[in-house]
Amino acid sequence: METVGRMAGVSQVTVSRALSEPSKVSSETLRRIHEAIRVTGFVPNAIAGALASQRSMLVSALVPSISNIVYASMIAAFNERMRARGYQILLSETGFDLGDEEAFIATHLSRRPDAVLLTGVHHSVQARRMLLAASVPVVEVWDISSTPIDICVGFSHVEAARAAADFAAKAGYRRAACLSAGDERARRRQQAFAEHFERSSGQPVVKAAFDAPATLANGRTGLSRLLQSGFSDGVVFCSSDLLAHGVLVEAHARGLAVPGDVAVIGFGDQDYAAAVEPALTTVRVDREALGAAAAETILSRFRGQQRVENVIDIGFDIIRRGSA
């Protein structure tokens, strides 16, 4: 800035102002400064800016998995809103381990983010402490808690699973099975679905769970396991559309009719859910709305509104298509 200023015949401070508050600089000096910037190829140093202003314009986001479209699409929506206000996202993949998450939180906080987004409402004690000490807005997404660290935006996994169980019972299915992949929230849904369905139908619900992440192959294996366990002629509640899709493929390979021989309910309503054969009945979670709502609450905190609603339930919908 010193160099640019010298070239434009002004001081370093004026250059700084020209960049951050152009309205406070005369149009003529502004012109000369921009010309000097162009000639020198000057790129402002955001690090120094952050140190001086105590605002990094960085928001850190921690998700279990980047390659899981479920989180990726939520982050995309979040990112878009934040970027429109000049914030950049520092994204990390934590896996599903709370200890790892704690380490990531420490690393992220060292960069002094202006806000933090976390996935889920369960965090280590030390993590909570660090986040509170950082005294920046913290948003927990993808779940609901009555005692968030700061703000939470999500939906109730238990209620969603119960709604699916009600749907299955009302659709006339007498028997049900659950298929879930390795993630705590998925298992909570499985549990809630099973309890609720068993209560209303009186029939035991067969379960299969993978420790591994959800894949199409696991969906296929999952249906095989359920059939081996004696399940037949009922509905399979899957913890993700990907697993549900695998069930569809396996059913097809075995010559089982869907939903005649086996019905399928997915979770998430991914973009392919409506395109598979038969189209997937699923629980829709509006991930874009979730990411957007998370961004909005953070931004309103930045505007100084301390009294933001701190528990936002974005709900869910059961989307009935052909598979169940």
- Residue 291 Cβ vs its own copies, minimum distance, rounded to whole Å: 12
Which of 20-28, 149-157, 179-187, 274-282 is the region at the interface with its own copies (rule: CB under 8 A)?
Answer: 274-282
- Partner in contact with 90, chosen from DNA, its own copies, none, beta carbon below 5 to 8 Å by kind: its own copies
Spatial separation of the C-alpha atoms in residues 111 and 68, rounded to whole Å: 26
- The smaller minimum CB distance to DNA, of residues 52 and 125, is found at 52
Q: What are phi and psi of 116, to 5 degrees?
A: -135, 135
- Residue 111 Cβ vs DNA, minimum distance, rounded to whole Å: 12
CB atoms within 10 A of CB 99: 12
Question: Does residue 7 touch its own copies according to CB under 8 A?
Answer: no
Which of 62-70, 150-158, 190-198, 299-307 is the region at the interface with its own copies (rule: CB under 8 A)?
Answer: 62-70
- Tell me if 81 sits within 8 A of 134, measured CB to CB: no
Which residues are CB-contacts of 189 (< 8 A; sequence separation ≥ 6)? 157, 158, 160, 161, 180, 239, 267
- The smaller minimum CB distance to its own copies, of residues 50 and 319, is found at 50
Structure tokens at 262: 């086996």
Question: Does residue 315 touch DNA according to CB under 7 A?
Answer: no
- The smaller minimum CB distance to DNA, of residues 67 and 135, is found at 135
Q: How far apart are the first and last CA of the chain?
A: 64
- Tell me if 224 sits within 8 A of 246, measured CB to CB: no
Instruction: Write out the binding residues for DNA, residues 9-48 only, by CB under 7 A.
Output: 9-14, 16-17, 19-20, 23-26, 28-29, 42, 44-45, 48
Size of the site for its own copies (CB under 8 A): 48
Question: Does residue 135 touch its own copies according to CB under 8 A?
Answer: no
- Sign of the Cα pseudo-torsion (289, 292, 298, 299, in order): negative
Which residues are CB-contacts of 240 (< 8 A; sequence separation ≥ 6)? 70, 181, 186, 214, 266, 267, 268
- The smaller minimum CB distance to DNA, of residues 53 and 107, is found at 53
Question: Does residue 112 touch its own copies according to CB under 8 A?
Answer: yes
Distances (CA, A) of 85 to 19, 23, 134: 16, 18, 22
- Residue 295 Cβ vs DNA, minimum distance, rounded to whole Å: 22
3-state DSSP assignment of residue 253: helix
Residues at the interface with its own copies (CB under 8 A): 41, 43-48, 50-51, 56, 66-67, 69, 72-73, 75-76, 79, 88-93, 106-107, 109-112, 129-130, 133-134, 215-217, 220, 246, 249, 252-253, 271-272, 274-277
Residues at the interface with DNA (CB under 7 A): 1-2, 5, 9-14, 16-17, 19-20, 23-26, 28-29, 42, 44-45, 48-49, 51-55
